[in-house]
Structure 1
Amino acid sequence: MAKKTRDRAAAPGDNPRRPCPCGSGKRYKACHGAGDDVIVTRPFAGLAIEPDLIAMREFLPSGTAPLPLREPAERPVLLATVLPGASAALVRDTGEVLLGLQVQTRSGDLSADLARALRWALDAEAGTSLPVVGPAVAGELVRLQDVVDADAVLDVTLHQDFGWWVPESAEEPTAEVTAMLERANSVIMPTEAVGGDGVRGAYWVDTGSKAHIRWVRPESEDELTAALARLQSAGELTLGEGTKYAGSFRAHGLLVPVWDVDRELHAKEYSEPVAAFAQRLDAALADDTPLTDAQRRARDVIAGKQITLR
């Protein structure tokens, strides 16, 4: 990701030598307090909702979820995959706050950008929107980890279109708004969550030519790659007949394994196979014995199928 200009955040407290609150392990004056761009490779670390946040940011087309704040806000807050105009935030006439995840970033810390947009929205006038998080939204460094319940889960609702952009109480959409909705709806790829015991962050998507299951995993890359290698070596890196492990991509510090699956089957038909794979994966993750030669070869093949989203 190319570096971008960020605002100088105020030092936390009176000691710039204290650890930076972003969790990088660096001193504040050498991290977010330095005034230069800071790239946080895993911006949502420490939050149970990390996999779903990454999914909403990277590949879910139309979705919303209430933001599980530590302390209730005066206005209800809803996370959204993308807002009209790719805005960072907007406040509806009712006072409801919507925060967009698929936005143009002005810093290397998505968590801080979201927290800044939230701070703006909680004080903004109803019926206004924030195009991007920029110099107008300044102040002390606050990150999503500071305001969100770390152990809460995200209740994501996937929508078939972007009709939710227009509140039910709104007047009949103008021709301009109708055209905007039609353009947005035309690029939606059918997507559904794949549930099951022990399954979070797994989604089925139909790209038109293929169907995939994309699964945002919370483990570190090395830990997950080793576990996948154990399964590959045992012939268990599959979600059942007609499926194939295609590779994985890195997104915001986590790996997202991807499987090609049968387009003719409904997403719900993969719930049991994915849950069964989750059990096999948990066992492989718990195995701390050294990798065998065959497993190391499998790990090298798996690592060769990893790409990084930028």
Structure 2
Amino acid sequence: MGKAARKKSKAPKVREVFVAQPFEGLAAETELIALREFVPSATAKLPLAAAGDRTITLGTVLPMAAAAFVRGDGEVFVGLQVQTRSSDISRDLGRSIRWALSAEPGDVLSVPDTTSPAAEGERLQDLLVADAELEVTLHSDFEWWLPEDTEPSGEVKLSLERANEAIMPTERLGTGSYWVLAGEKAHLRWVRPEPENQLLQALARLSAAGELGLGEGSRYAGSFRAHGLLVPVWDLDPEAHAREWDEPAKQLGARLEEALASLESEPLNASERRARDGLIGRQLTLR
């Protein structure tokens, strides 16, 4: 056997198994999905399980789309919206956190190492307090990338300018629930924790009863799948302020909870099944 063959035989084999629901088991699952997929600028302190670990802030997007970095003042950040994707986003984030725990001011992790074999204790489920929610702070820009009273320069300045220009006005209405003004259209995107089939049945029950909207100026637009969960979307009147949808969203949530509870004793009737088939036809998947 030649040297090349011997070297190749010693290389560890990494079996890539796609994890469809990477944040399963975490109370913050719906929030993590929202922050990864459609919230432009937001931060949240990570509830690390190990005592003594340094404070790490989760951010939607970091400078130059980095996986993690340490600001000059020592503040540590891990990014959710990272360009490189592997079979398990939870593991990627866990590796970024492990790197951040020992990184120094000015250090940057461009992408997590996805080539080495998975190790125990590397997933978010191993590193975070499972039943802890995220306390999300929304930002109108990305100035939080920099320490206070710091002027950006070079690539960071260019990256900051591009990122700020791309931000769409966004407001958080509840856990995993966000209003966004996208140009001339406004939407409510709501990451739901229920299994897809169960949620679709509840949505269909509301649809058949004419109770699926948020009131005048709203329309149910469809849904998309993201990281194992369903995200219903409503079109909203763009002239209305985000806070005008607070109460309608709470009322819709209450109706949805009632519909979910009723499924245990009342299966869908014919009109509700037709409504469910219509809802299924208005779906797409985001990985």
8 Å Cα contact 2:14/2:115 also seen in 1: no
List gaps (5 residues or longer) in structure 1.
Answer: 1-32
User: What is the aligned length?
Assistant: 273
Matched letter for residue 285 of structure 1:
L
Report the 3-state secondary structure (helix = DSSP H, G, I; strand = E; otherwise coil) of the residue aligned with 1:194: strand
Q: TM-score, normalised by structure 1?
A: 0.84
| Post-superposition offset of 1:135 | 5.3
The answer to whether structure 1 residue 262 and structure 2 residue 237 are counterparts is yes
2:258 aligned residue (283, 290, 306) = 283
Report the 3-state secondary structure (helix = DSSP H, G, I; strand = E; otherwise coil) of the residue aligned with 2:73: coil
Which residue does 2:187 correspond to in 1?
212
Matched letter for residue 166 of structure 1:
L
Matched letter for residue 297 of structure 1:
R
Which residue does 1:127 correspond to in 2?
106
- Cα separation, 2, equivalents of 1:96 and 1:242: 43
Which residue does 1:105 correspond to in 2?
84
- Cα separation, 1, equivalents of 2:38 and 2:86: 21
Report the 3-state secondary structure (helix = DSSP H, G, I; strand = E; otherwise coil) of the residue aligned with 1:259: strand
- Cα separation, 2, equivalents of 1:73 and 1:139: 24
The answer to whether structure 1 residue 241 and structure 2 residue 216 are counterparts is yes
- Cα separation, 2, equivalents of 1:106 and 1:161: 25
8 Å Cα contact 1:75/1:95 also seen in 2: no
Which residue does 2:270 correspond to in 1?
293
2:227 aligned residue (232, 252, 257) = 252
List gaps (5 residues or longer) in structure 2.
Answer: 1-11
8 Å Cα contact 2:63/2:156 also seen in 1: no
Pair 106,59 (structure 1): closer, same or farther in 2 beyond 3 Å: closer
Which residue does 2:163 correspond to in 1?
184
Pair 153,240 (structure 1): closer, same or farther in 2 beyond 3 Å: same
| Post-superposition offset of 1:35 | 2.1
| Post-superposition offset of 1:183 | 1.4
Which residue does 2:127 correspond to in 1?
147
- Cα separation, 1, equivalents of 2:118 and 2:219: 48
Which residue does 1:166 correspond to in 2?
146
1:302 aligned residue (270, 279, 282) = 279
- Cα separation, 1, equivalents of 2:155 and 2:127: 37
8 Å Cα contact 1:87/1:132 also seen in 2: yes
The answer to whether structure 1 residue 60 and structure 2 residue 47 are counterparts is no
